[in-house]
Amino acid sequence: MKRTELDQIDRQILDLLIENARVPLIEIAERVGLSRVAVKNRIDALEKSGVIEQYTVVLDPEKIGRNVSVFFDIPPVSTRWLTPWPPRRRSPTCTS
């Protein structure tokens, strides 16, 4: 996948969206020193290039009456981790 070059303004826009994805375009424009239309075009370009994949909502599970437990089953990337380590040789100076 091709890497997208981001300039300082793109990074500022992304920082603002990370902080609050619902911040109005006009507020972003004022904070980065561009017009609303220029900010909209930059956000559209960031979405099109895949830098911005989606906008999400973070819910408080207790407030919606749900407890959340998460379990991960992550397989090892390499099978070399499945083989046991060779036993350590005891040092003649080791007393235990």
pLDDT in tens, 66-78: 876 778 888 776 6
pTM metric for this prediction: 0.62
Residue 74 CA to residue 12 CA, distance in Å, equals 34
pLDDT of 3: 79
Residue 55 CA to residue 71 CA, distance in Å, equals 24
pLDDT of 42: 97
Residues 13-61: tens digit of each pLDDT:
999 999 999 999 999 999 999 999 999 999 999 999 999 999 988 888 8
pLDDT at 1 exceeding the cut of 60: no
**Are 51 and 6 within 8 A, CB to CB?**
yes
